[in-house]
């Protein structure tokens, strides 16, 4: 099987998963929306029934009032598309969602009312924050991990394992709250809200953005780098035990070159996949961490959608997150295949 | 496996476990946590769970830090103190008069927020002739302040010294007399409106008494004199209490509803451990069974089961959980949370279990068992499962932190069980009340540390189990 064909199958698989998830989610969504619409209809009719003309009608001719009520309800049901059969609504919802048409939010978020526009604004911000964080984490993690692998069992190694265990037990979003307490409330160095100031322009805007990004960035890095360094260490130790490293050392290759040239090259496929898996894993914590910091990305959208029960927004955000997740998994595969030739041929 | 073998292996295990320092620490942490969970009603009070989400805890001051903060700060804050009728000195003043006395030692730089008198029970025939109460505060400098004079009391009387207008007028008049400060009428009205009754009562008499009273340390005596005028009146003081509403409270302070955070922390252990352990055990068991079944059946069954596993694996957990939580309209009870977490928890375990079972299946002893005519059940449960169990145990311990953290995360988003006392919920309340920007660290830090502690305990245990039970991994 050629790599292209393998990739094609992977993408096809991912699309299938995406379609299926959207379908299941649509079933739930249509149910929630139905309950929502029912209460809205009842509210509207009750509101209109307080109209003096209707009140008079109710007093003089109860039967006509009932008839009006029935007609009005029928009309509203059509408006909210409750007259269509359940499965038809589910399928149309699935189709619309797959085509990125999520409908409108009830009140504007980030100055937009269309859900797809809102998400379009949020994604780059999330990517900016978490990609930057991941680059820093990878860098620190590699340095520390290799150091620990070289001195396995010594003090550096032990400190790193303890650090990894401690930080892995901390919820990222809680660390964010504590950092706000320390750095924003107590010391006043960084702002408590990371919402960028939209009135600034040019270089000023970017400086403000960087300043506001600092605290969430430090939080993500602080929580993740220990565990990541520990993973790197484990992968490196396994590689360092392989025969070709012994050979390289035996023939007198300098230690630096053995580690960075031979061992790291061989260890890179699992390391790269782990970076991407780590990035995906941080997605969960990221959702809440963003909410804590008011960082206007996808996580913030989740928070807003849940707090204001914006069903359309929630649906849109979930769909996009799942799609991004699946896409990143494929990218991880492609990179793995590029770095490790064994994957490309046959499986 | 015979019973002796089991006993032998448990003994071996215990012996090896003694050399795992991390494991021992984890075990001690776990014992502490479990005892906190079991003894929660005894450590705090049994009605915490019932009251937690339903009401304001009016008897406590809201948003105050823990009492031990006084050890670290130069400014001493008055703690919360409740005097029930048994803590009072009761004297008979004669002529139907009862005198209740509280001796209050104040060495604090900030006096109590309030003094609340409550819990009177009066039955009287004549509405105009109820028992009358006079409240006097005797100060360490020998002065006496009459806070309330001859006030009629009935069953629902609650007197808050700090905000009561009669007290305010009396204290103002008194302090003007003793301090000899000349005030213009305009100034007087302004000062009277702005003054802090409690700070004046517990402050030195000098020229700053109205603007910035300096605290007066020493022994204060609060005297409550109640005179029953009508002989037919019955005054029941069994439920009577005097609350010195504190600037600090208990071990961990209070939140914005006056809830005792220490109580929440202790009770939160229950949910956290129950959810964590239930999810870990269930999902690992399901994962093992799924993986082993898939490996053992082989062929198209294996293929289908693996497709499904891959499907579950490729879903991002938290977004889907959030959506499902929203589907339940944010009222997910604990049982449903466990189910939701198990739904995604078994996937990784199933993958590993399958690959382990595939290896074991091909080994000669399984072939021998089959040749001797052993059935599927016997082979799976007697030969394959025992080999995988060590992995299962360490995996169970390692899954707990994940489950605890995800539960907390869902609660933090407001998708938890609103009737339960959980750490995630406490942090959700803290976030909504702006605890971080108001600096209520005693509300933010402890629940997170508790979550981390549970996580750490199980990670340590899991790693120790892994080292003992899977010796192959030891070199790493």
pLDDT digits (tens, 9 = 90+) for B313-351: 777 778 888 888 777 776 778 888 899 899 888 988 898
- Paired strand residues for B159: B117
Q: How far apart are the C-alpha atoms of A48 and A42, rounded to whole Å?
A: 10
Nearest C-alpha in A relative to B463: A165
Please tell me which of the candidates A169, A185, A284 has its beta carbon nearest to residue B317.
A284
The pLDDT confidence band at residue B475, using thresholds 50, 70 and 90, is very low
pLDDT digits (tens, 9 = 90+) for A257-313: 888 888 888 888 888 877 777 777 666 667 788 888 888 888 888 888 888 878 888
Test B413 with A302 for CB contact under 8 angstroms: yes
Edge-first strand order for the sheet with B132-138 is B89-94, B97-106, B218-227, B132-138, B144-152
Flag whether pLDDT at A346 surpasses 60. no
Whether B72 and chain A come into contact, CB under 8 Å, resolves to: no
Of A49, A45, A32, nearest to A74 by C-alpha is A45
Q: Which residues of A touch B431 (CB under 8 A)?
A: 177, 291-292
Residue B415 pLDDT level (bands cut at 50, 70, 90): confident
Q: Is A314 on the interface with B (CB under 8 A)?
A: yes
Structure tokens at B448: 């997170």
Q: Do domains B3-48+260-474 and B76-245 have the same CATH topology?
A: no
Interface of B with A in 368-407 (CB under 8 A): 401, 405-406
Closest-CA distance, A50 to chain B, in angstroms, reads 30
With 50 as the cut, is the pLDDT of residue A175 above it? yes
Signed CA dihedral, A27, A33, A37, A39: sign only: positive
Q: How many CA atoms lie within 13 A of A147 on its CB side?
A: 15
Choose the weakest-confidence range: A198-202, B128-132, B257-261, B291-295: A198-202
Q: Is residue A195 predicted with pLDDT exceeding 60? A: yes
Q: What is the pLDDT of residue B326?
A: 77
For range A40-46, the mean pLDDT: 82
Interchain CB distance below 8 Å, A322 and B326: no
Q: Give pLDDT tens digits for B141-194.
A: 888 888 888 888 888 788 888 888 888 888 888 888 887 777 777 877 887 778
A222 close contact with B: CB closer than 8 A: no
By DSSP bridging, strand B144-152 and strand B81-84 are unpaired
Percent share of chain A, pLDDT over 90? 2
Please give the average per-residue pLDDT across A168-181, as a whole number.
89
CA distances from A236 to A244, A331, A333 (A): 13, 23, 21
Write the CA distances from B250 to A108, B64, B67, B162, B247, integer angstroms.
Answer: 44, 9, 6, 22, 10
pLDDT band at residue A343 under the 50/70/90 scheme? low
Confidence (pLDDT) at B2: 67
Choose the closest CB to A306 out of B401, B414, B451.
Answer: B414
**In sequence order, what are the residues at sequence separation of 6 or more whose Cβ sits closer than 8 angstroms to the Cβ of residue B346?**
B282, B283, B284, B286, B287, B290
Round to whole Å and give the CA distance between B240 and B158: 10
> Residues 6 or more apart from A322 whose CB is under 8 A from it?
A18, A21, A22, B315, B316, B319, B320
- Of B439 and B2, more confident: B439
User: What mean pLDDT value characterizes chain B?
Assistant: 84
Q: Chain B contact for A199, CB < 8 A?
A: no
Could you tell me if B436 lies within 8 Å of chain A, comparing CB atoms? yes
Phi, psi angles (nearest 5°) of residue B138: -100, 130
Cβ pair B323:A314 closer than 8 A: yes
Which residues have a Cβ under 8 Å from the Cβ of A56 and sit 6 or more positions away?
A: none
DSSP assignment letter at A152? T
A322 in reach of chain B (CB within 8 A): yes
CATH fold for the domain made of B76-245? Jelly Rolls (2.60.120)
Lowest mean pLDDT among B13-22, B266-275, B398-407: B13-22
Separation of CA B347 from chain center: 33
**Do B98 and B92 form a contact (C-beta atoms < 8 A)?**
yes
Q: Per the CB < 8 Å rule, is A302 touching B322? A: yes
Q: Name which of B317, B323, B444 is nearest A25 (Cβ-Cβ).
A: B323
Tokens of B228: 């029953």
Q: What is the pLDDT of residue B286?
A: 93
| ipTM summary value | 0.81
Contact criterion met (CB < 8 Å) for A177 and B311:
no
B181 in Cβ contact with B161 (< 8 Å): no
Task: Tell me how crowded residue A211 is: count the other CB atoms within 10 A of its CB.
Answer: 15
The helix (run of H) or strand (run of E) holding residue B99 is strand B97-106
Q: Is A323 on the interface with B (CB under 8 A)?
A: no
Task: Work out the number of other CB atoms within 10 angstroms of the CB of residue B68.
Answer: 13
Mark yes or no for CB contact B437/A325 under 8 Å. no
Residues whose CB falls within 8 Å of the CB of residue B345, separated by 6 or more in sequence, listed in order: B279, B280, B282, B283, B284, B287, B399, B402, B403
- The 3-class SS string of B27-40 reads HHHHHHHHHHHHCH
Q: Which of residues 440-469 of B touch A (CB under 8 A)?
A: 441, 444-445, 447-448, 451-456, 459-460, 463
B315 vs A291, A312, B46, B311, B438, CA distance in Å? 22, 20, 42, 7, 38
Tens-digit pLDDT profile for residues B64-102: 888 888 888 888 888 888 888 888 888 877 777 888 888
Tell me how far CA of residue B305 lies from CA of A291, B287, B299, B361, in angstroms: 37, 12, 10, 18
Q: Which of A24, A149, A177 to mutate to test the interface with B (most CBs of B within 10 A)?
A: A177
Is the domain spanning B3-48+260-474 CATH 3.10.20.30? The answer is no
Closest CA to B357 of B378, B380, B340: B380
SS3 B80: coil
Strands B114-118 and B241-245, by their bridges, are: antiparallel
Q: Break chain B into its structural domains and give their ranges.
A: 3-48+260-474, 76-245
- Average pLDDT over every residue of B417-430: 88
Kindly provide the b/e burial profile for residues A163-180, where b requires at least 16 CB atoms within 10 angstroms of the residue's own CB: bbbebbbbbbbbbbbbbb
Give kind and range of the element (H or E) at residue B282. helix B261-297
- Higher pLDDT residue, B331 or A227? A227
pLDDT band at residue B112, thresholds of 50, 70 and 90? confident
The verdict on B315 touching A (C-beta cutoff 8 Å) is yes
Tell me if chain A has a CB within 8 Å of the CB of B320.
Answer: yes
Q: Is A202 left (phi over 0), alpha (psi -120 to 50) or beta?
A: left
Q: What do you get for the CA distance between the two ends of chain A, in Å?
A: 8
Cβ(A194)–Cβ(A216) below 8 Å: yes
């Amino acid at each position: 099987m050629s790599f292209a064909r393998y990739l094609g199958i992977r993408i096809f698989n991912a699309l299938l998963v995406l379609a299926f998830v959207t379908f299941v989610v649509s079933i739930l969504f249509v149910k929630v929306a139905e309950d929502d619409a029912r209460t809205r209809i009842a509210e509207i009719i009750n509101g209109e029934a307080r109209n003096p003309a209707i009140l008079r009608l109710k007093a003089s001719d109860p039967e006509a009032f009932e008839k009006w009520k029935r007609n009005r309800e029928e009309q509203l049901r059509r408006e909210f598309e409750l007259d269509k059969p359940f499965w038809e609504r589910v399928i149309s919802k699935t189709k619309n969602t797959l085509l990125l048409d999520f409908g409108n939010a009830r009140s504007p978020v980030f100055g937009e009312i269309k859900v797809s526009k809102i998400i379009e604004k949020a994604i780059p911000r999330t990517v900016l924050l978490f990609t930057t964080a991941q680059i820093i984490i990878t860098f620190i993690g590699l340095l520390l991990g290799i150091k620990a692998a070289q001195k396995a069992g010594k003090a550096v190694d032990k400190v790193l394992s303890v650090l990894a265990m401690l930080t892995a037990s901390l919820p990222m979003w809680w660390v964010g709250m504590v950092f706000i307490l320390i750095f924003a409330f107590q010391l006043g160095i960084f702002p408590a809200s990371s919402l960028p100031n939209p009135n600034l322009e040019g270089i000023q805007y970017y400086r403000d953005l960087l300043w506001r990004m600092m605290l969430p960035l430090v939080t993500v890095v602080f929580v993740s780098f220990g565990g990541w360094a520990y993973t790197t260490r484990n992968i490196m130790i396994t590689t360092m035990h392989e025969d070709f490293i012994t050979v390289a050392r035996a023939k007198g290759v300098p230690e630096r070159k053995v580690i960075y040239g031979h061992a790291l090259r061989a260890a890179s496929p699992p390391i790269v996949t782990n970076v991407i898996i780590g990035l995906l894993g941080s997605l969960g914590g990221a959702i809440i961490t963003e909410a804590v910091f008011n960082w206007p990305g996808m996580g913030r959208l989740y928070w807003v959608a849940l707090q204001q029960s914006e069903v359309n927004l929630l649906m849109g955000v979930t769909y996009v997150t799942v799609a991004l997740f699946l896409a990143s998994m494929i990218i991880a595969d492609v990179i793995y295949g590029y770095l490790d030739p064994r994957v490309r041929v046959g499986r | 496996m015979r019973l002796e073998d089991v006993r032998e292996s448990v003994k071996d295990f215990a012996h090896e476990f003694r050399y795992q320092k991390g494991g021992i620490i984890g075990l001690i942490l776990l014992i502490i946590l479990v005892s906190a969970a079991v003894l929660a009603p005894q450590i705090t009070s049994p009605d915490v769970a019932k009251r937690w989400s339903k009401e304001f805890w009016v008897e406590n001051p809201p948003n105050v830090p823990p009492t031990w903060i006084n050890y670290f700060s130069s400014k001493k804050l008055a703690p919360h103190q409740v005097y029930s009728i048994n803590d009072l000195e009761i004297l008979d003043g004669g002529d139907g008069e009862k005198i209740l006395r509280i001796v209050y030692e104040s060495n604090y730089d900030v006096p109590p927020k309030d003094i609340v008198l409550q819990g009177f029970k009066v039955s009287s025939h004549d509405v105009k002739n109820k028992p009358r109460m006079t409240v006097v505060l005797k100060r360490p400098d020998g002065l006496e302040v009459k806070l309330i004079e001859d006030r009629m009391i009935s069953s629902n009387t609650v007197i808050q010294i700090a905000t009561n207008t009669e007290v305010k007028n009396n204290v103002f008049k008194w302090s003007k007399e003793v301090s000899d400060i000349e005030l213009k009428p305009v100034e007087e009205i302004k000062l009277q409106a702005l003054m802090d009754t409690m700070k004046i009562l517990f402050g030195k008499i000098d020229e700053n008494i109205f603007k910035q009273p300096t605290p007066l340390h020493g022994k204060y005596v609060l005297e409550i004199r109640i005179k029953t005028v009508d002989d037919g009146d019955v005054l029941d003081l069994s439920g009577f209490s005097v609350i010195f509403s504190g600037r600090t409270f208990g071990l961990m302070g209070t939140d914005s509803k006056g809830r005792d955070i220490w109580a929440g922390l202790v009770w939160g252990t229950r949910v956290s451990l129950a959810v964590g352990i239930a999810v870990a055990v269930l999902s690992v068991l399901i994962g093992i069974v799924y993986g082993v079944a898939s490996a053992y059946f082989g062929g198209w069954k294996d293929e289908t089961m693996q497709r499904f596993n891959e499907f579950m694996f490729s879903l991002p957990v938290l977004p889907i959980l959030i959506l499902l939580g929203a589907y339940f309209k944010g009222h997910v009870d604990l049982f449903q949370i466990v189910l939701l977490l198990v739904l995604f928890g078994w996937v990784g375990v199933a993958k590993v279990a399958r690959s382990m079972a595939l290896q074991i299946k091909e080994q000669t002893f399984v072939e021998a068992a089959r040749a001797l005519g052993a059935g599927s059940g016997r082979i799976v449960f007697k030969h394959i499962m025992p080999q995988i169990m060590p992995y299962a145990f360490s995996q169970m311990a390692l899954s707990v932190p994940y489950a605890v953290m995800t539960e907390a995360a869902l609660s933090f988003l407001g998708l938890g069980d609103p009737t339960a006392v959980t750490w995630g919920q406490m942090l959700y309340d803290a976030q909504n009340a702006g605890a971080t920007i108001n600096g209520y660290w005693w509300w933010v830090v402890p629940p997170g540390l508790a979550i981390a502690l549970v996580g750490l305990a199980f990670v340590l245990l899991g790693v120790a189990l892994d080292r003992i039970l899977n010796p192959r991994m030891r070199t790493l």
